[in-house]
Amino acid sequence: MSGFDTGSTAFMLLATSLVMLMTPGLAFFYGGLASKRNILGIMIQSFVSLGITTILWYTMGYSLCFSGNGPIIGNFDHLFLRGIDSLTPFGNGDIPLLLFIAYQMMFAIITPALITGAFTGRVSFKAYLIFLVLWQIFVYYPFAHMIWGGGILAQWGVMDFAGGIVVHVTAGFAALASVFFVGARKEKISKPNSIPLVAIGTGLLWFGWYGFNAGSELRVDNITALAFLNTDVAASFATVTWLIIEWSREGKPKFIGLMTGAVAGLATITPAAGFVPVWAAALIGIISSTFCYYAVHLKNKLQWDDALDVWGVHGVGGLTGTILLGVFASNAVNGNIVDGLLLGNSSFFFKQLVAGVIGAVYAFVFTYIMLWVINKITLVRVSEAEEVAGLDASQHQEDAYT
């Protein structure tokens, strides 16, 4: 018989399921925002990650992220989960290691799917599949290892509770690189085909984010509860802040804006959820919506065709949250972290700032180079005729609505 804690094990099974649900939620969110000709084209890019990333994670992903003592990447000790069985414990033995592997796999699944919103309607499915594999191996895995797997950034003292750098910064700035490489759509003005579908996606993302953030404590304790509440508080304050800013600037309260603000708040609190007091989560929510709203406004002014605002929401949000963790971190709240700038520790703030910038620059540069290489193998962008017809018809020969 195992000695695992049944409460923590049950909770982590639930948290893992919630994070898995975020990927279909993302598909609905992006699918509703896309044009009618590209609904399935964007949704399949999320769903296919469920399959391909799981295969990658089982064969080598977990091993490269969480085995070995390399500064940048792990080793091959646990290829195909070699040496791990159902009785192998994780950490202090509260939960099985297999459960931790499954939980972390869900993060790997959704991260590259986030990027797809930037280039919706103009990237071939074949090129995306190559992108999906290479991006995880050369961007996601190194940062997961460097921060969560005991690599060089962790040794330096960088903290990321649930994926500010590992997930949102890398995906957001990879999305921006994708926009620059792929170029603008032929028809930039594209209204959402289904705002109710976006609402369903937002609800699933918000619901799943409790598993994303609270589950990152990896057991049930007071920090689990703190991360859960901070997640909701930040998202709620961000939702209302975006609504107010957009209403005051455009004269009408916009539902799409409200939901975008919620996702911005969720992305921004992610690195700090278990490390800051609740009042700080409220401030982070307000700051996140303000920064992300004006990042999207800047993107529009500069005519960067990030179709679904991945950079403005996830990239800017993740970087903002990473830096704000350096401001609001409190050792009194969580003994596993040092105090932040507000409590007199400028060193930790500097580390968070530098690590966030490193993640952004690396993800941007490597993604751009990787797309250039993929383009030599198979054209990344579809032809003008295929783009005009829509990816649903030209790439998949299916229709979302008949």
pLDDT for 313-332, tens place per residue? 999 999 999 999 999 999 99
Beta carbons of 218 and 91 less than 8 angstroms apart: yes
> How large a percentage of the chain has pLDDT more than 90?
97
Inter-residue contact 243 to 258 (CB < 8 Å): yes
With a CB cutoff of 8 Å and minimum separation 6, the contacts of 344 are none
Question: Which residues share a beta bridge with 123?
Answer: 381
pLDDT of 214: 98
- Asked if residues 250 and 189 have their Cβ atoms less than 8 Å apart, the reply is no
pLDDT at residue 186 in the model: 87
pTM: 0.97
User: Rounded distance, CA 267 to CA 292, Å?
Assistant: 10
Lookup: tokens for 335: 């003994």
Which pLDDT belongs to residue 334?
A: 98
Strand partners, 89: 96
Residue type, 72: I
Query: What CA–CA distance (Å, rounded) separates 217 from 296?
Result: 32
Give the least confident one: 18-27, 141-150, 187-196. Answer: 187-196
% of the chain surpassing 70 pLDDT:
100
Place of tokens 């399959």: 51
| Structure confidence at residue 377 as a pLDDT band (50, 70, 90) | very high
b vs e for 197-219, b when ≥16 Cβ sit within 10 Å of the residue's Cβ? Answer: bbbbbbebbbebbbbbbbbbbbb
Instruction: State residue 1's pLDDT score.
Output: 43
Cα four-point dihedral sign 386, 388, 390, 393:
negative
Domain annotation for the chain: domains and CATH numbers: 6-386 (1.10.3430.10)
Q: What is the pLDDT of residues 58-75, one digit of tens each?
A: 999 999 999 999 999 999
Residue-level pLDDT at 189: 75
Report the mean per-residue pLDDT for the chain: 97
pLDDT for the residue numbered 3: 86
Question: Cα separation of 95 and 101, whole Å?
Answer: 11
Tokens standing for residue 10:
């049950």
Rounded Cα gap, residues 190 and 2, in angstroms = 55
Distance CA 247, CA 244 (A): 5
Bridge partners for 95 per DSSP: 90
pLDDT in tens, 274-317: 999 999 999 999 999 999 999 999 999 999 999 999 999 999 99
The contacts of residue 172 (CB under 8 Å, 6+ apart) are: 114, 310, 311, 313, 314, 315, 316, 317, 318, 319, 360, 363
| pLDDT, mean of residues 115-133 | 97
Q: Is the separation of the CB atoms in 116 and 46 below 8 Å?
A: yes
Residue 188 has pLDDT above 90, yes or no: no
Chain-centroid distance, C-alpha 214: 15
* Rounded average pLDDT over 238-246: 98
Mean pLDDT of 125-142: 98
The predicted pLDDT at position 366 comes to 98
Q: Are 234 and 289 in contact (CB under 8 A)?
A: no
d(CA 306, CA 179): 6
